[in-house]
Amino acid sequence: MRPTPQPGRHRSGHHHHPDPTQSGGRPIRRGRGSRARVARGDVRLALLSILAEEPMHGYQLMQAISDRSGGRWIPSPGAVYPAISQLEDEGLVTVNAQDGRKLVTLTDTGRQLVEEQRASRPDPFAALGGTRQESDLRGLLEQVHVATRTVGRNGTDAQAAAAAEILKDTRRRLYLLLAEDADGPTPAD
C-alpha cells in the first residue's frame, strides 16, 4: 500500500512549488551546467537556417548551433534529433545514410520555406547576441581543466604546487582584465 502524499509534496518527498522560479521566497538557482533556455520553435528555425547553407550530420548541426551562439546555446540530442524527424515528416529535409552516419539535407520545399521566412522570422541566433568572434573560452577552459587534472594525478608535489601558482595567477589576471578600462591597456604578460 502506497503512502498518501502530503499536500505540497511529491512522492519523492520534495516540495512542489507552483511558481518554478521560486522556492520558499528565494529564486531557484540553476546548477553549473545550466544552459540558456530557448523556445522549442527556435530549434527548428535554427536547423533550417543552417541546413540552407549545407547538408550536415546531427552532431554537426548541434556543433554549428553552439558555434553560432558563441556557446550560449548548446542543444541536446534530445532536442535536435526529434526536430530533425519532425522536419523530415513535414518534407522539409531528407535524411540519408552516408558513411554509416545520417546526413540531413534541406529539400526544395524546405529551401523555399527558409527563403519565405527569412524576411518575416528573426534570426534564431540574434536573441543570443549573435556569434562571438572572440576566442573559444569554453573550449580553452576545458583544455586547461584536462591539463590541470593530468598534473594533479601524474605530477610530482613540486609540479602540482607550480600548477596551483599558475592557476592563481591566471585567475588574478582574468579579474584584472575586467577591472581595466575598456580603452586602457591590458595587463602585461
Q: What per-residue confidence (pLDDT) applies to 103? A: 93
pLDDT in tens, 79-91: 899 999 999 999 9
H-helix or E-strand spanning residue 50: helix 40-51
At 94-141, the pLDDT tens digits run 999 888 888 999 999 999 998 888 777 777 776 665 444 445 677 778
Look at residue 25 in the predicted model and tell me its pLDDT. 35
Select the more confidently predicted residue: 23 or 132: 132
Pick the CATH number of 40-128 from 1.10.760.10, 2.40.50.140, 1.10.10.10, 3.40.190.10: 1.10.10.10
Q: Determine the angle formed by the axes of helices 77-89 and 40-51, rounding to 10 degrees.
A: 70
**Structure confidence by residue, pLDDT tens digits, 134-171:** 456 777 787 888 889 999 999 999 999 999 999 999 99
**pLDDT band, very low/low/confident/very high, at 181 (cuts 50, 70, 90):** low
Q: What is the DSSP string of 101-125?
A: EEEEEE-HHHHHHHHHHHHHS--TT
Give pLDDT, residue 18.
39
Ranges of each domain in the chain: 40-128, 137-179
More confident: 1 or 77 = 77
- pLDDT at residue number 142: 78
Above 70 in pLDDT, residue 31?
A: no
DSSP assignment of 136-158, as one string?
A: -HHHHHHHHHHHHHHHHHHS-HH
Q: Which three cell numbers stand for residue 27?
A: 529564486
% of the chain beyond a pLDDT of 70? 67
Cell 604578460 belongs to 189
- Return mean pLDDT, the chain: 74
Residue 14 above 70 pLDDT?
Answer: no
